[in-house]
Amino acid sequence: MKSERIVVCGGGGFIGGHLVADLLRQGKTIRSVDVKPFSEWYQMFPEVENLELDLRDKEACERAVADVDLVYNLAADMGGMGFIENNKALCMLTVLINTHLLMAAKDAGVKRFFYASSACAYAADKQTDPNVTALKEEDAYPAMPEDGYGWEKLFSERMCRHFLEDFGLATRIARFHNVYGPRGTFEGGREKAPAAICRKVIEAKLSGNHEIEVWGDGHQTRSFMWIDDCVKGTQMIMNGDFAEPLNLGSSELVSINQLVDIVEGIAGLKLKRRYNLSAPKGVNGRNSDNTLIKKVFGWEPSTKLRDGLERTYRWIYEQMAPRSAKQATKAQAVR
């Protein structure tokens, strides 16, 4: 319904920005909240009520959810494997965001609350083989999630469950599997594998130095979900009647070496690979079992990885090429 008032927490981030854009296209009334200064938001829309708030604070959460019907909580201190392996305490502190948002949402009489969880909530002992058996929702228990970030996600899932059971707040949970696409982080340490590989290949293309560093041995496997599939699935889960955690991810499993192959093909070049075995690489294998989401909604994320990567590569190239040209001009001037 168009009259629903919606808040997107983490609206200045990658997924949040795309979600706000899609809700706007539907004519929704939206508030977007993020801790980052407005100048650092990935997407910003003047027709939205934009607020810069630190949602670790309960008062900020109360302001964020005031007079809204639906809360999408995508706010988190997170990044790619390099970030989450080296910032476990920061990742754990995100528990304050979801806890305070749930408390504020209950007190404000919010109708529905969506929590963006992660495949990092899954037990590590089920992800030791690159030829991984796709992860079913029940594989999160017995609990042994990714240290730091994964524990925060699993704890926050339980908090959502208990706010539903004890207070009747309609909570919905999706476990995101590696979301990628344009208008996201591709440098600085928080980027995820698809964006990082695109950036490295573009750097090699622009510089003429045809080498690439790959973290790990390249045999570790993942599935990667196109951003539009994520946005569609997120709203489907929010508006549906299924209250347990649901996988939201592609089931197209690839190794990191295959990911590099695809991006090389898009760029039209072949690179020498240097494998950094001491770099963070995460679990050996992770894939999404989509049996349950197909049963509940008759749908699953299905955009082919190459199709999404072509668009992601093009967008990152558009950001990097002018900078590279400017640097080359400066270097020429110095000579």
The residues carrying an active-site annotation are 149
Check the CA dihedral 61-64-69-73 and report its sign. Answer: negative
Task: Give backbone dihedrals phi and psi of 212, rounded to 5 degrees, phi first.
Answer: -145, 140
Give the distance from CA 61 to its chain's centroid.
21
d(CA 172, CA 243): 5
Report yes or no: 218 and 257 within 8 Å, Cβ to Cβ. yes
| 172 strand-pairing partners | 114
DSSP 216: T
Report yes or no: 223 and 287 within 8 Å, Cβ to Cβ. yes
E strand map for the chain: 5-9, 29-34, 49-52, 70-73, 112-118, 170-176, 179-180, 211-215, 221-223, 225-226, 246-248, 253-255, 272-276
d(CA 206, CA 271): 13
Report yes or no: 303 and 228 within 8 Å, Cβ to Cβ. yes
Candidates 249, 255, 253, 260; CA nearest to 227 is 249
Other Cβ atoms closer than 10 A to 24: 15
DSSP 132: P
Report yes or no: 82 and 210 within 8 Å, Cβ to Cβ. no
Candidates 199, 221, 214; CA nearest to 272 is 214
